[in-house]
A and B are shown apart, each in its own frame.
Chain A
Amino acid sequence: MKRYLILEDGTVFPGEGFGSSIITTGQLVISNNRTGIEQSVTDPDTEGQILAFTIPSVGNSGINRDFYESINSQCKGVVIGSSSLSTVDGSISFENWITGLRIPGIKNVDVRALAKHIAEHGEMKASIMDTHDEHAMDQIKALVLPPDLVKRVSTRQSYPNPNMGLKIVIVDLGLKYSILRQLSYRDCNSIIVNYNSTAEEIENLHPDGIIYSNGPGNPTDLPNTIKTIQTLQKRYPILGIGLGNLLIALANDCRIIRLKEPHHESSLAVKEVASGKIDFVNHNHSYTLDEKYIGGSDFIVTNVCVADGTIEGIRHEYLPIMCVLFEPEAAPGPTDGYYVFDEFIDLVESVKKQEGVRNQWN
Chain B
Amino acid sequence: MELDDVHTILIIGPTSSDKNVDLSTALYDTVDILHQLGYKTSIIVEDPTLLLSSGVFYDKTIVEKVTGDNVLKFVQKYHPDAILPTVGDRNALGIVSSLNGKIGGTKVLGASFSASLATFKRELFIKKLTKANLPVIKFISSDDETEIYSFIRSIGFPIIARRRYSNRHSSGWTNINNLFELDNFMATEDVSDTKIEIERSIRGFSEYSFTILRDRYDNSSLIGTIEDIEPIGIHHLDSNLISPAISLNDSKLQRLRNYSIKLARAFNIVGICTVHFAYNHTTKESYITEFIPRLSEETKFLEYATSYPIATAVVELCLGYHLDKLQLDAGNHFNGATEPFVDHLTSRFPQWKTPGQKYLGPSKTSDSSIVVNGFSLEEVLNKGALNDKLNNNFDRYNELRKLDDDELFEKIIHPTNWLLDVLSEALRRKFEMPVLSEITGVNIPYLTALQNIINNSLIIREGEIDGKNVERMVEMGVKGVGHSKLLLDSPDIVTKTVVKNKRAVSVANNEYINHNYFVTSGISNELELSDRKKFVVRTPIITSKTDIMIRQFVLFQLAKSIDQNGLEPIIIGREPWNAPLSMRRKVVEIDDPHMEMKSLNLIKQENVIKIIDLSKNLVDTEDNRGFQFSAQEIKNIELQGDTTLRVMVVSDGTNYLAPSVIYRGKRDNHMYEISSVNNFMTAEDRAEVAELITHELEDDTEVDIFNFEMVKSNGHWLVTKKYRGMTNDIIRHELASSVHVIDTLVKLLLGNKIEEGLSLEKVFDNFDEKYLLTIDDKRYKLLDKDEIQAKLKELRLKENKKATN
Contacts and interface: CB of A to CB of B under 8 A. Distances in A.
Contacts of B524: 110, 112-113, 116
Contacts of B341: 32, 34, 54, 265, 267
B185 interface: no
B452 A110 contact: no
A38 B250 CA distance: 9
Interface in B376-396: 376-379
B249 A54 contact: no
Nearest to A331: B250
Interface stretch (B168-176, B253-261, B415-423, B478-486): B253-261
A267 B281 CA distance: 24
Interface stretch (B440-448, B697-705, B789-797): B440-448
Interface string B553-571: 0000000000000000000
A82 B523 contact: no
Given A32-B341, A81-B343, A13 B335 contact: no
Contacts of B500: 112
B505 interface: yes
Contacts, number: 164
Highest count of chain A CB atoms <10 Å: which of B252, B323, B445? B445
B493 A34 contact: no
11 contacts: A14-B493, A32-B343, A57-B345, A57-B377, A61-B247, A61-B252, A82-B376, A88-B445, A113-B523, A115-B343, A268-B506
B398 interface: no
B403 interface: no
Interface string A67-106: 1000000000000011011111110000000000000000
Contacts of B282: 89
Given A88-B445, A280-B221, A55 B324 contact: no
A85 B493 CA distance: 25
A244 interface: no
Interface string B238-249: 000000101111
Contact of A14 (B218, B376, B494, B509): B494
A116 to B, nearest CB: 7
B495 interface: yes
Nearest to A269: B337
Interface in B360-376: 375-376
Given A62-B249, A335-B258, 6 more contacts: A81-B343, A82-B375, A85-B448, A269-B324, A278-B323, A278-B337
A276 B218 CA distance: 10
Interface residues of A, number: 55
B428 to A, nearest CB: 18
A136 interface: no
B250 A54 contact: no
A306 to B, nearest CB: 5
A142 interface: no
Given A267-B341, A280-B339, A87 B444 contact: yes
A84 B250 contact: no
Highest count of chain A CB atoms <10 Å: which of B206, B249, B345, B475? B249
Contact of A61 (B248, B342, B378, B448): B248
B322 interface: yes
B246 A306 contact: no
A60 interface: yes
B680 interface: no
B523 A88 contact: no
B244 A87 contact: no
A66 B449 CA distance: 27
B222 interface: yes
Interface residues of B, number: 57
Contacts of A307: 335, 337-338, 506, 509
Contacts of B344: 56, 112
A209 B448 CA distance: 51
Contacts of A84: 246, 377, 445, 448-449
A133 to B, nearest CB: 12
B443 to A, nearest CB: 5
A333 B506 CA distance: 15
Contacts of B335: 269, 306-307
Given A86-B444, A112-B522, A57 B338 contact: no
B281 A86 contact: no
A334 B220 CA distance: 12
Interface in A321-337: 330-335
A268 B504 CA distance: 13
A64 interface: yes
A132 interface: yes
A110 B522 contact: yes
Interface string A24-45: 0000000010111011000000
A277 interface: yes
B431 interface: no
A311 interface: no
A54 B258 CA distance: 24
Contacts of B494: 14
Nearest to B322: A276
Given A34-B253, A54-B505, A56-B344, A271 B324 contact: yes
B680 to A, nearest CB: 58
Given A32-B505, A56-B344, A84-B449, A14 B523 contact: yes
B495 A110 contact: yes
A54 B495 CA distance: 16
Contacts of B244: 34
A12 interface: yes
A79 to B, nearest CB: 13
Contact of A269 (B217, B281, B338): B338
Contacts of A87: 444-445
B669 interface: no
B17 interface: no
Contacts of A81: 343, 375-376
Interface string B645-687: 0000000000000000000000000000000000000000000
B219 interface: yes
B240 to A, nearest CB: 14
B804 interface: no
B251 interface: yes
Contacts of A331: 250
A132 B493 CA distance: 10
Interface string B247-288: 111111110011000000000000000000000011000000
Contact of A335 (B254, B343, B376, B379): B254
Contacts of A267: 222, 339, 341, 506
Nearest to A116: B524
A19 to B, nearest CB: 19
Contact of A110 (B444, B509, B523): B523
Q: In the A-B complex, list the 9 residue pairs whose CB atoms are closest, starting with the nearest.
A: A82-B376, A36-B250, A269-B337, A332-B250, A110-B522, A88-B247, A61-B249, A113-B524, A35-B250
A51 to B, nearest CB: 15
A362 B328 CA distance: 61
A350 interface: no
A88 B253 contact: no
A168 to B, nearest CB: 24
A334 B257 contact: yes
Highest count of chain B CB atoms <10 Å: which of A13, A14, A84, A271? A84
A89 B281 contact: yes
Given A87-B445, A267-B341, A56 B254 contact: no
A280 to B, nearest CB: 6
Interface string B578-595: 000000000000000000
Contacts of A330: 250, 254
Contacts of B495: 14, 108, 110
A335 to B, nearest CB: 5
A242 B526 CA distance: 35
A219 B740 CA distance: 65
B505 A88 contact: no
A345 B782 CA distance: 66
A219 B338 CA distance: 29
Contacts of A64: 249-251
